[in-house]
Amino acid sequence: MATTKTKTTSTTSLLLLFSFIIVFLSIPSFSSSSSSTDSFVFGGCAQQKYTPSSAYESNLNSLLTSLVNSATYSSYNNFTIMGSSPQDVVYGLYQCCGDLSMPDCATCVARAVTQVGGLCYQACGGALQLQGCYVKYDNATFLGVEDKTVVFKKCGPSVGYEPDAMGRRDAVLQGLMTASGPYRVGGAGDVQGLAQCVGDLSAGECQDCLVQAIGRLKSDCGTADYGDMFLGKCYVRYSTGKAPNSYKDHSGK
């Protein structure tokens, strides 16, 4: 049974994803980083460890190298590295935010791979979300599998209920829901919204995931000034005019 190691604030909540331990280290979206694309959002590791210098470790290193190389020309890709025995197989994918240029995607994935290696030292599986990209690997396949588990959520403070702002927020979220494609952006006045699915979902699975994420975001964050809802294979985020400036630039462009 996995245990959680969390550092929470009243506006942050962390949830356990199957055998992964989700850790939350900081709120870098508020830091004055020059490149918020590379800011840490959340990460989690499988509890099981692999044997150092094993075939699994060698396959995992190949996989991570493949992810980094692929991110120079594609915003999403998946890899399966086969071993000589079934228990050495490792599966992995990455997904860059839809508005990142290829050089920025490559930089982001390289950073995510480095960070997940440190965070999940010798763990069989790991996942890490930066503002601009997501990477995940495991020894059990998760490729092409829809996953609507809440992995990470964060709600901003509710600074007085403003019907107009909340009406615009709801309209933006509705717009994200009725739009199509795996990457969706919307805005109304000072409200901005962003939604994305991991590239291995079908159009129908992506829609299903986003409907779920939007519903959870509205019910869990209520009238918060900003909110993030990351499910296993999709996320939805919004910010209003009252969110901190650095927060509004979700993708870090």
Ligand X SMILES: *[C@@H]1O[C@H](CO)[C@@H](O)[C@H](O)[C@H]1NC(C)=O
Q: How far is the CB of 163 from ligand X (least distance, A)?
A: 42
Rounded CA-CA distance 231/246 in Å is 23
Nearer to ligand X, 8 or 47 (CB): 47
- CB neighbour list of residue 154: distance below 8 Å, 6 or more residues apart: 11, 12, 13, 227, 228
Stretch that binds ligand X, among 14-22, 136-144, 181-189, 208-216 (CB under 6 A): 136-144
Residue 144 found at the interface with ligand X (CB under 6 A): yes
Nearer to ligand X, 50 or 238 (CB): 50
Residues between 76 and 95 that touch ligand X (CB under 6 A): 78, 87
Answer for which of 15, 27, 55, 143 binds ligand X (CB under 6 A) is 143
Stretch that binds ligand X, among 17-25, 135-143, 150-158, 220-228 (CB under 6 A): 135-143
Stretch that binds ligand X, among 36-44, 140-148, 167-175, 245-253 (CB under 6 A): 140-148
Residue 72 found at the interface with ligand X (CB under 6 A): no
Applying CB under 6 A, the site for ligand X has a residue count of 10
Q: Cα angle vertex 59, ends 75, 69, to 5°?
A: 25
- Tokens representing 239? 């910010």
Answer for which of 48, 61, 114, 149 binds ligand X (CB under 6 A) is 48
Nearest alpha-carbon partner for 128 in 249, 209, 28: 28
Nearer to ligand X, 34 or 51 (CB): 51
Residues between 195 and 214 that touch ligand X (CB under 6 A): 200
Q: How far apart are the first and last CA of the chain?
A: 40
Nearest alpha-carbon partner for 42 in 173, 148, 159, 134: 134
Q: How far is the CB of 179 from ligand X (least distance, A)?
A: 21
Q: How large is the angle between the packed helices 163-178 and 203-221, nearest 10 degrees?
A: 170
Question: Exposed, middle or buried by CB within 10 Å (0-12, 13-18, 19+), for 34?
Answer: exposed
Stretch that binds ligand X, among 5-13, 111-119, 137-145, 169-177 (CB under 6 A): 137-145
Nearer to ligand X, 63 or 173 (CB): 63
**CA-derived radius of gyration, the chain:** 18
Residue nearest ligand X by beta-carbon distance: 144
- Write the CA distances from 161 to 51, 61, 165, 236, integer angstroms: 54, 50, 8, 21
Give me the residues that bind ligand X (CB under 6 A), please: 48, 50, 78, 87, 124, 139-140, 143-144, 200
